[in-house]
Amino acid sequence: MTLHGVLPVRKPKGFTSHDIVGKIRRLAKQKRVGHTGTLDPEVEGVLPICLGQATRLAEYIQDMPKKYRGSVTLGTATDTEDQTGQVIEKVAIHNLPTESEIVYAMKSMVGEIEQVPPMYSAVKVNGKRLYELARKGEVIERKARRVQIYDFEFLGMDRGEKPTIHFTVTCSKGTYVRTLCVDLGKKLDLPSHMSYLIRIQSGSYSLEDCVTLEQIETVANTGDWQSILHSMGEAVSTFSKMIVSEAQEFAVLNGKALQVEDPPETKDGLIRIFSDTGRFLALYREKEKGLLIPEKVFRDVE
């Protein structure tokens, strides 16, 4: 049986996102499985996995904001910008920044900012991934990328031997939180690195929605996948919704444009189309007022 839907997985440390995809592919006996945004091996948290026709929605889920909770340790910098790397700079801190100084620095980083991808990243330059070059000791020039920081909140600070700031951040896809931590340190005139990170939300899914690998293995033995699989329509719930008549449903499933008098308001132009029985049929885009054209049609999903 082919499964269609999204599985929000709580990825543990020590696994790549690709590892999780491979594991679910084997357990669910499905060929079409994909994730919606890479998490580094030492980062845990929400990783939505798409199965079957839901893989066609992965690009939209991946574009949705993500929220993390993490820690940045001051006084020490590493080559990977996180706790897994080699120390490249260490200083004694005589005067710790105050809470107000930290909050001010964080607020200054909210909005559209530019980030230079770290050398230890999967970004390709001239056909080679940066981490492959970094492992050879090479450092090359990287182009800055624009990302959006929606919120960067101070949660508290440990003022011990290794002063550590705790935070949450909501950001766009493509944001390197490691680099954000290093840049925060620079604003405080201190070397720093990210010492902990967990993704607590990805698009519509939070940690509370997630299942563990152990739970997935149990379901694989019972075959009750529907008990943990989230519907495709729910996966893109930030898009507007429209219910169509039986006659319109036939047109939608055949990829026809729809002319409607009162289309739902939409910020991004995309509208989820449902039948009057609740079946998710398609994603349509409003081309002009009242004229909706198909973007993705899901005729093979009951």
Q: What are phi and psi of 188, to 5 degrees?
A: -100, 10
Q: What's the token pair of residue 44?
A: 């845990």
The active-site residue, picked from 19, 40, 82, 262, is 40
The answer to whether the CB of 88 falls within 8 A of the CB of 182 is: no
Q: What's the token pair of residue 90?
A: 């260490």
- Cβ of 56: how many Cβ atoms within 10 Å? 19
Tokens 């909050």 map to which residue?
A: 103
C-alpha span between 234 and 135 (Å, rounded): 41
The answer to whether the CB of 36 falls within 8 A of the CB of 58 is: yes
The answer to whether the CB of 206 falls within 8 A of the CB of 238 is: no
C-alpha span between 53 and 298 (Å, rounded): 7
C-alpha span between 24 and 34 (Å, rounded): 9
209 classed as catalytic: no
- Cβ of 263: how many Cβ atoms within 10 Å? 17
Q: What's the token pair of residue 83?
A: 């706790």
> For residue 157, which amino acid is it?
M
Q: Is 93 helix (H, G, I), strand (E, B) or coil?
A: coil
Q: What's the token pair of residue 113?
A: 């900012």
- 168 Cβ neighbours under 8 A, 6+ residues apart: 67, 68, 69, 70, 151, 152, 153, 155, 200
Instruction: Supply the residues annotated as catalytic.
Output: 40
